[in-house]
Each structure stands twice: as structure tokens, then as C-alpha cells.
Structure 1
Amino acid sequence: MKDQARQPVRRCAQPIELVHTDASSRAVVCLHGFTGYPGELALPAKRLYEAGFDVFVPRYPGHGTNGKDFLRSRGADWIGEAKRQIESIQSKYQSISLVGHSMGGAIAVLMASLYPINRMVLYAPALVLPTLPVKTVKCLSFVIKRKRKEWHSDPSYPFFDDRDEDDDAFLGSEYWSWIYPKQIAELSDIAKQAVAALESITSNILVFTGQEDTVIPQAAGTLVLDRAKGQNNWIHLPKATHLIPYDRDEATREEAMERTVLWISG
């Protein structure tokens, strides 16, 4: 992808690095979702740091900037950034674990098939995409770059990152108010790759799904249990939406965070 460094990155989308002054032997890399940004994983990053881990949350190319920048990005760029982050810290830590949300969950699975990953937590991983009209989207990708859709900010979801007041409105106008056919097709390909990779994964996985999630179904949880080879666990949260790391129901959010820290801590 060209010109990534020239694009202004919103404050909430800046990569997060939480590193202890006294060296830690354990690191966690957190991977955000499609059209998302690092700040969406600020809460689990903070909790894991408080538990003694060094934590890194990279930003994928094309994310957290603007729609034109996103149009230039591809799945290989997003996967490549996850690889770059892991390889940049691999020699410094005895163990690396992963946390992934939505598409970040699928990318985490791919990373675990390539690198020695200790443990994983997947929030609503994009392994099953029943609401995605893949054939239609792929056809549209040859005709249009993006198509407008309705989006409204929802103040019931809290923020835990450092941000400017207009970050949500700006990113909403650039990303969530549009359908990006080519990029959605790339997401679909990543999901397929991740499902194929599951059978090679021996890392222990904790997967969360939500009853109120309109994007990822419970089948994502059963898929992990059925195919991955580690000692895995699936938790279905009755009040969770797709946005588990910063969900609107505090009790649900806190349960997910507590279980995340316990699982990654082993």
C-alpha cells in the first residue's frame, strides 16, 4: 500500500504500546476489526497491562485515517501489519499471546498458524459471515468503489481510548457510512483463510460470542471448538453485541475483560 505514512491518523486510532519499565517476559498483541481502530481495544489492553503484560495494538493500513486511504488498502496489508508487529517483538519476549476482535480474530488465527503463539482470546471472530452477500459484493467491486449507507453514532457505547471529541463522527462519516465492496471481499477471503487454518492451531483459545450480535453468529464459537486443536473454551454472552471490548452493558463488558485476563494469564 502506498502513501500510508502521509495520511493523518485520528487520535483514537494511534497504535497503542503499553510497556513496563521493568522488563516483562510476556507480551500480548491485540488486533482490531474491519474499519476499526486500535482504540477499540484500549480497555483489554489496559487490563492486560495492569496484569503484568506488555501490550501492543497496531493499526492496519487504511484504517483510522479516511475513506480514500481505506480504498487503497487490501487484506494483505492488514495481515502484513499483524505480522510486522509480532516479528518486531518476537525476540524480546518468552511468550506472545493474541487478542482479536471481529476481523482481528480471524487475523489472530492466521498469525497462530505462522508463529508460536501462547494463548488467544477472540471477541466475535469473523470466521462466519452469514449476513455478507459475498457474490453480490464481489460483483459490485468491479463497478463501484463504495456505496453510501445509513449510520448514526450510538452514545450508549463507552470509549476507553485517548481521542479527540470529533473522532467518532469523523470515522463514521469516512468508514461506517459506506459499503466498500472490494474491501468486504478482502474480509471474506481472510475469513476463509482463517477457517482453513483453524485445524492447525494448537494454542489455547477463548472465544466470545454475543446474543445481541447482528454480525457474527454463535456458529463462530462452535467452529473454534470443533476444529482448533488446543484446550479451548467458548463463552456466549446473553447481553453482548458485536462490540464486546467496549460493549454498552457494563456487567457483560466486565465479565469479558475479567475472563480475558484470566485466560491470557493461563
Structure 2
Amino acid sequence: MSVRPGAEPYSHDGSREGSGKGATGIVLAHGFTGSPRSMTPWAQHLAGAGYTVRVPRLPGHGTTWQEMNRTRWQDWYAAVDAAFRELDESCDRVFVGGLSMGGALATRLAQEHGPRVRGLMLVNPAYKVEDVRLRALPVLQAVVPSLPGIGNDIKKPGQDEVCYDRVPLKALWSQTKLWATVVRDLPEITQPVLLWHSTDDHVVPASSSALLLSRISSTDVTEKVLHDSYHVATLDHDAPRIFGESVEFIERLS
């Protein structure tokens, strides 16, 4: 199935000193029903700083929502895990980051790979959603294929994360299983964490980031509040700030 223009994965081999292709590798994961487009400007900034970067296209994303409804969270995780394992073989250190559901996938990487993940960078990560309709999801997903979409929650005009205009419900049901798994194991997170969250987010509630902060075991935690961006902050007014602060975080830990 053809990939939508702009939804292609991003890959760059860095030039910094160190073993293999680059001393520092970074894996970035995009969000639910979104595409690598939401992470590509960030990835390009990191590539410009000399790092090796991978932004995989999660299975079922960037094509059609019907195809996404045939995928599950284990498929999405397998894509970011493969990218991490590749960089872990070729780089001296690897950082992982994610937006929204991509933040949950990045968190899962840190839980599974432990200290092999040098640091965790999260933008409006999703570990829960406060929507009463989710109570009906176990039944609803069996009879209704999709609901109206939640993408492109961006304050800055003219931005497009190349997302679906429908939410595939079987895939959403699977995402709730991912949340439960990640939240259960949050105390296993000991890596340094850099967290950005928007004051105006129409997709993921502030309680999601609060849940992360209340349960992780990390002692090196930096929380940044974004006042001029909605959910997809990596394409919004605060994006340059995210990009610059992520490089500072990586440099400090490298």
C-alpha cells in the first residue's frame, strides 16, 4: 500500500566523533494516527547537530485508517524497537523520544532496554485519555470501525502532521492496552527524563504527564511547560524550543 506524501520515515547517519556511524543515536516515535511528518523537523535539527537519527513509520500509519485498524500496539512497538536495536549496535549511546502515543512507545523502550537507553525525551506523552466514551470502547470497537479524527491539534497556522481524519477503533482499543502495560511498569524508569507538556492540549490531558512524574523512579527529571502550542508541539510555535532544549539535554548526558 502506498504511503502518503510527507508520511515517509526519516533516517540520517551522523558525523559526530565516536564508534560506528555516530557517537550518539536518537530514535523518535510519532503519535497515534499520525506520521513521521510530526517528528521530521525535530529529527532534521538533531541531524544538523551531527547525530544519527531514526524516525520509523509505525505500521498502519501514513496509509489508510482501515489498514491501521488491522495493526496493534505490539506492531507499532516492534518498529521503534527495531530502530533502537539498530542504533544500539552502531552508536555509543542512544536516546529515545516520542510525541503522544510515541511517548508511550519510547517509555516502553526505556522499560525494556534499561540503561541502554541513555535518556528519555517526551512531548505531551499519552498514558491515558479522560474521555467517557472510552468506557464503551470494548463493545463499540466490535461494531463501529471508526470515529471522527483527533489529529492536527496545532496552534500554528499552515501545519499538517499528515494524519488520519478518522480514529480506527480496534487500533484505539489496542492503544489502551499499551497504556496499561506502560503505566504498570513506570517505576522501572530510572533514566534521565526531559518532559515537555502544553498548557492547551485538546487531545491528551495534563493528568497524563502528571501520572508519569508521579510514578517513575528517575532522579534526573526536567519538566518544561509549553505555553504557545497545542498537542502536536513539535510542529507548533514552541518547536524551536523543544529542538534546542533536546540538544542541550543530549549534550549534558553525553
TM-score over 0.5 for the pair: yes
2:119 is equivalent to residue 119 of structure 1? yes
Aligned ranges 1:56-67 → 2 under 5 Å: 56-67=54-65
- In the alignment, is the contact (CA less than 8 A) between 1:134 and 1:188 conserved in 2? no
- In the alignment, is the contact (CA less than 8 A) between 2:98 and 2:121 conserved in 1? yes
CA gap 1:149/1:18 in 2 versus in 1, 3 angstroms: closer
Query: Given residue 8 of structure 1, which amino acid in structure 2 is its aligned partner?
Result: S
C-alpha separation in 2, matches of 1:221 and 1:152: 20
Query: Given residue 123 of structure 2, which amino acid in structure 1 is its aligned partner?
Result: Y
Query: Given residue 85 of structure 2, which amino acid in structure 1 is its aligned partner?
Result: E
2:96 is equivalent to residue 98 of structure 1? yes
The aligned residue for residue 133 of structure 2 is 133
Mean Cα displacement is larger for which, 7-16 or 101-110? 7-16
CA gap 1:148/1:133 in 2 versus in 1, 3 angstroms: closer
Query: Given residue 12 of structure 1, which amino acid in structure 2 is its aligned partner?
Result: G
2:5 is equivalent to residue 19 of structure 1? no
Aligned residue for 1:183, secondary structure, equals helix
Query: Given residue 121 of structure 1, which amino acid in structure 2 is its aligned partner?
Result: M
C-alpha separation in 1, matches of 2:32 and 2:106: 13
Structure 1 residue 147: deviation in Å? 3.6
CA gap 1:10/1:90 in 2 versus in 1, 3 angstroms: same
Aligned ranges 1:1-266 → 2 under 5 Å: 7-20=1-14, 23-115=21-113, 116-131=116-131, 133-148=133-148, 156-159=156-159, 175-176=164-165, 178-230=166-218, 231-247=220-236, 249=237, 252-266=238-252
Structure 1 residue 43: deviation in Å? 1.5
Mean Cα displacement is larger for which, 115-124 or 16-25? 16-25
- In the alignment, is the contact (CA less than 8 A) between 1:44 and 1:260 conserved in 2? no
Structure 1 residue 122: deviation in Å? 0.3
C-alpha separation in 1, matches of 2:152 and 2:198: 21
Structure 1 residue 253: deviation in Å? 2.3
C-alpha separation in 1, matches of 2:2 and 2:157: 25
Query: Which residues of structure 2 form unaligned runs of 5+?
Result: none
CA gap 1:179/1:14 in 2 versus in 1, 3 angstroms: closer
C-alpha separation in 1, matches of 2:202 and 2:42: 22
C-alpha separation in 2, matches of 1:128 and 1:29: 23
C-alpha separation in 1, matches of 2:187 and 2:15: 38
- In the alignment, is the contact (CA less than 8 A) between 2:9 and 2:57 conserved in 1? yes
1:131-159: CA deviations, max 9, x gaps?
36322122111112224569899794455
Structure 1 segments of 4+ aligned residues over 3 angstroms from their partners: 147-159
Root-mean-square deviation (CA, aligned residues, Å) is 2.3
Query: Which residues of structure 1 form unaligned runs of 5+?
Result: 1-6, 160-167
1:76-112: CA deviations, max 9, x gaps?
1111111111122221111110110000000111110
C-alpha separation in 1, matches of 2:101 and 2:130: 14
Aligned residue for 1:13, secondary structure, equals coil
Aligned residue for 1:188, secondary structure, equals helix
Give aligned pairs, total.
Answer: 245
C-alpha separation in 2, matches of 1:58 and 1:242: 20
TM-score by length of 1: 0.84
Query: Given residue 71 of structure 1, which amino acid in structure 2 is its aligned partner?
Result: N
Aligned residue for 2:142, secondary structure, equals coil
- In the alignment, is the contact (CA less than 8 A) between 1:30 and 1:58 conserved in 2? yes
Aligned residue for 1:64, secondary structure, equals coil
Q: Percent identity?
A: 24
- In the alignment, is the contact (CA less than 8 A) between 1:32 and 1:41 conserved in 2? yes
